[in-house]
């Protein structure tokens, strides 16, 4: 796995024992995530489902372009994110862990096979079929939008991703109410980007 991780296959790579230690730490973190979660019976949260679909898309697209080293580094990033989610939720759901095992199997077949069995599956992880992703499951429920007065950011608010213009502007004005000292001449909302209140 280290040889795949160290760099693009078309380039020469310099062997570094520290890199092996890094890959070993990652595999241990993944193993511990599975072992800490497998008997907890955690129900999948929206955050877990979103991260699962992001992981599948990330690994699939990188494998399709033969970017094996970035696929592994991407898996490491998602694994860290899921560890943080697990700390809040008490674990990760079995479907997400099973998906992770399938995605890891081309790079670390032995540990992927063992994880697959530990999660209660029969047969081999290589018979499971490659997971698919849904773009809709990756959408954010909430977004952060800066609120500006005359082009200068005065606050950042969290709003629903599909918030209407009227509600966004109302929320923005409420967040900077103490700074609205002049006459409002224009209210601008660029969806998912910015709220700007123009005053004179």
Task: Tell me the β-bridge partners of 103.
Answer: none
Task: Looking at the structure, give the CATH architecture of the domain made up of residues 142-199.
Answer: Roll (3.10)
Give domain 2-138's CATH superfamily: Isoleucyl-tRNA Synthetase; Domain 1 (1.10.730.10)
What pTM does this model have?
A: 0.65
CA–CA distance, 175 with 187 (Å, rounded to integer): 14
Average per-residue pLDDT for the chain: 87
SS (H, E, C) the chain: CHHHHCCCCCCCCCCCHHHHHHHHHHHHHHHHHHHHHCCCCCCCCHHHHHHHHHHHHHHHHHHHCCCHHHHHHHHHHHHHHHHHHHHHHCCCCHHHHHHHHHHHCCCCHHHHHHHHHHCCCCCCHHHCCCCCCCHHHHCCCEEEEEEEECCEEEEEEEEECCCCHHHHHHHHHHHCHHHCCCCEEEEEEECCCEEEEEEC
pLDDT classification of 69: cutoffs 50, 70, 90: confident
Is residue 44 within 8 Å of 95, Cβ to Cβ? Answer: yes
Give the domain ranges of the chain.
2-138, 142-199
Which two structure tokens, joined as six digits, stand for 66? 């033969």
Is residue 184 within 8 Å of 198, Cβ to Cβ? Answer: yes
Query: pLDDT tens for residues 141-170?
Result: 778 899 999 999 999 998 888 888 999 999
| Other Cβ atoms within 10 Å of 122 Cβ, number | 7
pLDDT over 70, % of the chain: 89
Query: pLDDT tens for residues 103-135?
Result: 999 988 999 999 999 999 999 999 999 999 998
Angle CA 31–33–34, to nearest 5: 65
Q: Which of 15-24, 72-81, 104-113, 181-190 has the lowest mean pLDDT?
A: 15-24
Query: pLDDT tens for residues 11-41?
Result: 555 655 666 666 778 889 999 999 999 888 8
């Amino acid at each position: 796995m280290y040889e795949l991780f160290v760099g693009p296959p078309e380039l020469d790579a310099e062997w570094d024992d520290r890199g092996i230690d890094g890959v070993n730490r990652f595999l241990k973190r993944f193993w511990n995530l599975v072992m800490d979660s497998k008997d907890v019976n955690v129900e999948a949260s929206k955050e877990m489902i979103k991260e699962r679909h992001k992981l599948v898309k990330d690994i699939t697209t990188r494998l399709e372009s033969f970017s094996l080293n970035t696929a592994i580094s991407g898996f490491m990033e998602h694994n860290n994110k899921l560890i943080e989610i697990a700390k809040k939720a008490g674990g990760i759901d079995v479907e997400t862990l099973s998906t992770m095992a399938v995605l890891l199997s081309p790079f670390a077949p032995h540990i992927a096979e063992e994880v697959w069995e530990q999660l209660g599956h029969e047969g081999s992880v290589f018979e499971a079929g490659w997971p698919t992703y849904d773009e809709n499951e990756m959408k954010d429920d909430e977004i952060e939008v800066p609120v500006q007065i005359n082009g200068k950011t005065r606050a950042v608010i969290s709003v629903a991703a599909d918030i209407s213009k009227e509600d966004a502007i109302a929320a923005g004005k409420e967040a900077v109410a103490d700074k609205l000292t002049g006459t409002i001449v224009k209210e601008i909302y660029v969806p998912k980007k910015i709220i700007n209140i123009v005053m004179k």
